[in-house]
Amino acid sequence: MAVIINQEITEPKLSKETLDALVSIAQRVLKAYGREEAEVGITLTDEETIHQLNREWRGVDAPTDVLSFALAEEEPLVPMELNGDNDSPPELLGDVVICLPIALRQAAEYGHSSTREILYLAVHGLLHLLGYDHQTTEEQRQMRRAEEQFLVEAGWGRTDEE
């Protein structure tokens, strides 16, 4: 499975540990849903860019913390010539875009680490790519339970102080 991290902004610079945790939790989510061969992109960007994306794709004229863009193929994939007997192209799930400045502000507001907030937003976005939604209260509860389960399993659950 491939998790591609695209850092569109250089500041704030994330530590190697945070980037490694980001890839690890994304792989954990994909594996839990049987998507070991899937490929996702996670883009870390600024408020201006996410504001523009939000306006263009959702009709919302404001920045947000995270956006998900699922890749729904209209036509079957064209077979590719690959090396090896069992190789097949990865399933392209889509992209998650995280606004780092908003994530860092939210981490401070909620009283937890920036790494935990970034991981939470990544899991939230990935779950949207996998079909979760939060239009109803019950859907929202299910999504929150799944988000927290992944964070706890990865060692980033809420502490008693939060």
* pLDDT, averaged in runs of 10, over the chain (162 residues): 89 91 96 91 97 95 95 44 51 94 96 95 95 88 94 82 42
Asked whether residue 149 is domain-assigned, the answer is yes
Quote the tokens at residue 134. Answer: 């939060």
- Residue 152, pLDDT score: 95
Q: Is residue 84, in this structure, part of any structural domain at all?
A: no
Instruction: Report pLDDT for 90.
Output: 74
Tell me which residue range forms the domain holding 10. 2-72+90-153
| DSSP helix/strand/coil, 135 | coil
Provide the pLDDT for residue 77: 35
SS3 content of the chain, % helix, strand, coil (to 5): 45, 15, 40
Q: In degrees, to the nearest 5, what angle opens at C-alpha 20 toward C-alphas 35 and 102?
A: 95
Residue 36 lies in a domain: yes
What global pTM score does this model have?
Answer: 0.86
In 3D, which of 135, 130, 70 has the Cα closest to residue 97?
70
Q: For the chain, how many structural domains are there in total?
A: 1
Give ∠ CA 144-145-147 in degrees, rounded to 5: 60
In this structure, is residue 159 part of a structural domain?
Answer: no
Per the domain annotation, does 53 fall within a domain? yes
Within a domain: residue 39? yes
